[in-house]
Amino acid sequence: MVRTWEQAWGEALYGEAGFYRRPEGPAGHFATSAQGPAADLLAGALLELARRESLTTIVDVACGRGELLGSLAAQADPSVRLVGVDVVDRPADLPKRIEWVRSPGGAELPDLDSPAQALVLAHEWLDVVPCPIAEADEDGVLRTVLVDEDGIETLGGPLPDEDRAWSDTRWPGPRASGDRVEVGRTRDAAFDALVARTGSGLVVAIDYGHTVAARPTAGTLIGFAEGSACPPVPDGSCDVTAHVAMDSLGADELRTQRDLLRELGVDGARPPLELASTDPARYLAGLAAASHASALTGSGAGDFLWALRRVG
């Protein structure tokens, strides 16, 4: 069956047999900053951000199986409320203090009960909110890309008016034949919806992204499975993701992860060498912390963009 990429993508990730509903969860296929040892450092930075902004609730949207929330629970004061949001039921092994809200998936959001004084976090959510994929034909006209269940693509008709308007404004040409656009209109709307569901506080989207000064002409649509990149086949066997036009989200601030985490105390400084002889255990712990900080702020993850919007 041939469908638009937006339709096929949504079913592949969030349908009844979708990738994100599989029992092993996303962590069974790839690691993010919200998983593993670096997650403890990221959690500490988020708690510092919440403290500076006087926020007492942290909501983690598209939280996988709650890995980052587990790190937050281990460090946060008991007065800090922690809420996870994802498409599966609450994992049984989460700390009891963590609340859970079941989400429909993709751009659709559940009722979050308008949390007040909340840090609402969307960590690598928008890159898996399906969006229209367009490709320029031989005349430079953007056409909707269609795809079948095997990942074979064909060009459909010209982009609908609202997608063309977004592309002309946010991802302007000129375009050569084969140039692609990932129409971020759906991501913008999803971020707006998340802001609308927040009573007061700070909404933060963290993602692979780009700005209008450097849009990728070939696009970024790709699949991931079992630890490796793979062709994006919309059959539920792999993750399907595309980078986000982060400057289109209407954020109050747009920062690199590297710069913001360093401001929040994740500097990656190595412990002094003399500590190796005076306190070896502390020295080794410091080396490990520096390594994890480098994983968050070095090339790759450090280039993630944080879009911050204040509410209320």
Q: For residue range 141-188, what is the model confidence (pLDDT) as tens digits? A: 999 999 999 999 999 999 999 999 999 999 998 999 999 999 999 999
pTM score, whole prediction: 0.92
Q: What proportion of the chain, given as a percentage, has pLDDT over 90? A: 79
**173 contacts 135 by C-beta, under 8 angstroms:** no
Whether 76 and 166 share a structural domain = no
Per-residue pLDDT tens digits for 192-232:
999 999 999 999 999 999 999 999 999 999 999 888 999 99
- For residue 208, what are the CA distances in angstroms to 60, 159, 265? 17, 25, 22
Tokens of 5: 């990429």
156 vs 1, residue with greater confidence = 156
In a domain, 270, yes or no: no
Whether 80 and 35 share a structural domain = yes
In a domain, 62, yes or no: yes
The answer, yes or no, to whether residue 28 has pLDDT greater than 60, is no
What is the distance between the alpha carbons of residues 63 and 258, in angstroms, rounded to a whole number?
A: 21
In a domain, 274, yes or no: no
pLDDT of residue 108: 96
Whether 80 and 124 share a structural domain = yes
Q: Are strands 209-210 and 244-245 parallel, antiparallel or unpaired?
A: parallel
HEC sequence for the chain: CCEEHHHHHHHHHHCCCCHHHCCCCHHHCCCCCCCCCHHHHHHHHHHHHHHHCCCCEEEEECCCCCHHHHHHHHHCCCCCEEEEEECCCCCCCCCCCEEEEECCECCECCCCCCCCCEEEEEECCHHHCCCCEEEECCCCCEEEEEECCCCCEEEEEECCHHHHHHHHHHCCCCCCCCCEEECCHHHHHHHHHHHHCCCCEEEEEEECEECHHHCCCCCCCEEEECCEEECCCCCCCCEEECCEEHHHCCCCEEEEHHHHHHHCCCCCCCCCCCHHHHCHHHHHHHHHHHHHHHHHHCCCHHHCEEEEEEEC
Q: How confident is the model at residue 32 (pLDDT cuts 50, 70, 90)?
A: low
Select from 231, 224, 230, 192 the least CA-distant residue to 208.
224
Max CA separation in the chain (angstroms): 70
What is the distance between the alpha carbons of residues 195 and 187, in angstroms, rounded to a whole number?
A: 12
Range of the domain at 9: 1-16+132-182+215-232
Whether 122 and 35 share a structural domain = yes
Whether 154 and 194 share a structural domain = no
In a domain, 238, yes or no: no
| CATH number, domain with residue 99 | 3.40.50.150
Residues pairing with 182 in the sheet: 133
- For residue 144, what are the CA distances in angstroms to 158, 164, 261? 6, 10, 38
What average pLDDT score do residues 244-265 get? 96
What average pLDDT score do residues 81-88 get? 97
Whether 166 and 305 share a structural domain = no
Angle at which helix 38-52 crosses helix 280-297, to 10 degrees, equals 80
Burial of 48 (0-12, 13-18, 19+ CB in 10 A): middle
User: Considering its fold, how many domains does the chain have in total?
Assistant: 2
Whether 124 and 170 share a structural domain = no
Over the Cα atoms of the chain, what is R_g?
20
Whether 58 and 200 share a structural domain = yes
Q: Pick the range with the lowest mean pLDDT from 7-11, 102-106, 147-151, 295-299.
A: 295-299
Whether 178 and 250 share a structural domain = no
Computed over every residue of the chain, the mean pLDDT equals: 91
Whether 188 and 302 share a structural domain = yes
Per-residue pLDDT tens digits for 299-308:
777 789 999 9
In a domain, 60, yes or no: yes
Whether 125 and 46 share a structural domain = yes
The answer, yes or no, to whether residue 284 has pLDDT greater than 90, is no
In a domain, 107, yes or no: yes
In a domain, 307, yes or no: yes
Whether 148 and 73 share a structural domain = no
pLDDT of residue 299: 78
In a domain, 124, yes or no: yes
The answer, yes or no, to whether residue 268 has pLDDT greater than 70, is no
pLDDT of residue 292: 66
- For residue 175, what are the CA distances in angstroms to 145, 166, 205, 218? 15, 15, 29, 11
